[in-house]
Structure 1
Amino acid sequence: MKTDDLIAVLARGVTPVDTDATRKRFQTALVWGVLGALAVMLSGYGIRHDLAQAAALPMFWVKLAFPLAIAIPAVLLTLRLSRPGMPLGKTWMALPLPWLVVALMAIATLAHASPDERLPLVMGKSWLSCAFNIAWVSAPVLVGMLWAVKGMAPTRPALAGACAGLASAAAGAVVYALHCPEMQAPFLAVWYMLGMLIPTAVGAVVGAKLLRW
């Protein structure tokens, strides 16, 4: 068989590779994961009754922007970690910035509060359950993100799992914020961040085992 004939046989029936397959896979995971998170939040907690009034307050939008600003770079890092040899670049530097902003706001709030007001500002009314609620609401997103990464080829499975967990937790925190009545910066800096770190840790542990080749 001539070389040209061999090439023709090998090329027969070959279809073009979808260069957008990775984006579509993660998009599917995020859409279904967020829908699942909404279902968990609505069925288990419900939307806060004063949502319209709360939406008129600047801190309500800060509460939404805080986890959203973490979710975006976390998703981008997860995409990069899902591909062998893909450099992380400087995207990781954006991860702590939202928390630092909220932490500075928290320090300023506590500095201007009287001593007997400081602890209530940090603890709020739901500190016992907030972090675990965020982790629970984000669970469907985490399942979707790990599914998306599993279909790729991560060479650092624990780190990829951790980034997938952080992205999931941040998305879950945005959804949970529609229920949560807490809006003080000290509370957000402590308990929302802790709620996002729980799925991050879970993602790292699960990813180390599940995302291996």
Structure 2
Amino acid sequence: MKTDDLMNLLATGATPVPRHAGERRFALALGLGLVGALAWVHLMYGVRSDLGEVWATSAFGVKLAMPLAVAVSGLAVVFRLAHPGARVRGWAWGLWLPVALLWAWAMWVLAQAAPGTRAALVLGETWRYCVFNVMATALPVGVALFWALRGLAPTRPMLTGAAAGWLAGAVGAVVYALHCPEMQAPFLAVWYVLGMAACALLGALAGRRWLRWSGAPAGAAGGGG
């Protein structure tokens, strides 16, 4: 078969892709994932009873600032990775800079605290299950993002999966904060970040398996990650 004939055959029945189809797909995925995460927290943990009182406090603002900033940048990064040839550029800074700032703030808090209180600032009362709870809350978001990505064309599956997991973990951390009683920066800097990092690791592994193009060679799955 000649090349021209093959191209004509492949193009048979092709229709134009609707404008902004990718944006709508991501918006739907994030919307469904967020609803699932909120439902999970409401049904399994419950919203903290004093949320109305702490909502406007600076401590709660700091608690939400890191995952919210990561989520905004993460959405831009994941959307770009979902399109061949798109460049991440400066958005990648937003994936780790908020975490670095939180770590710096946590170190300052620990340095100012009495030595006998530092362990309590890091461990809080819920360290044993915080990481799991962040991951569980992020799961609906991660599943929805992978659904969106499988309808697009990521060329770096492990990297895209890791970024999607990091984004899902950030959204999960924001939603889980509606229940979590911990407010100290050292606790958040350790356990929230570990929960998000675990989501990123799982996302990378899932991306290697489920975001690879079906026609790509097996060795290409790990490329670019």
Using the size of structure 1 for normalisation, the TM-score is: 0.91
Secondary structure, in 3 states, of the residue corresponding to 1:49? coil
- 1:20 is aligned to 20
Cα distance between partner residues in 2 of 1:16 and 1:200: 34
Deviation, 1:19, is: 2.0
Letter in 2 for 1:30: L
Deviation, 1:85, is: 1.2
- 1:34 is aligned to 34
- 1:5 is aligned to none
Cα distance between partner residues in 1 of 2:104 and 2:15: 54
- 2:179 is aligned to 179
Deviation, 1:163, is: 0.6
Deviation, 1:16, is: 5.0
For residues 35-57 of structure 1, the C-alpha deviation after alignment (integer angstroms, 9 at most, x for no partner) is 00001111100000111221232
- 1:73 is aligned to 73
For residues 183-204 of structure 1, the C-alpha deviation after alignment (integer angstroms, 9 at most, x for no partner) is 1000010000001011111110
Relative to structure 1, is the Cα distance of residues 67 and 107 closer, same or farther in structure 2, using a 3 angstrom cutoff?
same
Cα distance between partner residues in 2 of 1:14 and 1:143: 28
- 1:108 is aligned to 108
Deviation, 1:17, is: 3.3
Deviation, 1:14, is: 8.1
Letter in 2 for 1:117: T
Deviation, 1:15, is: 6.2
Cα distance between partner residues in 1 of 2:16 and 2:212: 28
- 1:9 is aligned to none
Letter in 2 for 1:105: W
- 1:163 is aligned to 163
The count of corresponding residues between Structure 1 and Structure 2 is: 203
- 2:138 is aligned to 138
Deviation, 1:161, is: 0.5
Cα distance between partner residues in 2 of 1:14 and 1:157: 25
For residues 145-177 of structure 1, the C-alpha deviation after alignment (integer angstroms, 9 at most, x for no partner) is 001011111110010111111111101110000
Letter in 2 for 1:106: A
Q: Which runs of 4+ in 1 moved over 4 A?
A: 13-16
Cα distance between partner residues in 2 of 1:104 and 1:212: 37
- 1:122 is aligned to 122
Cα distance between partner residues in 1 of 2:157 and 2:14: 31
Cα distance between partner residues in 2 of 1:86 and 1:51: 40
Deviation, 1:100, is: 1.4
Relative to structure 1, is the Cα distance of residues 200 and 110 closer, same or farther in structure 2, using a 3 angstrom cutoff?
same
Identity of aligned residues (%): 48
For residues 57-105 of structure 1, the C-alpha deviation after alignment (integer angstroms, 9 at most, x for no partner) is 2010111121010011111111111111111212111211111111111
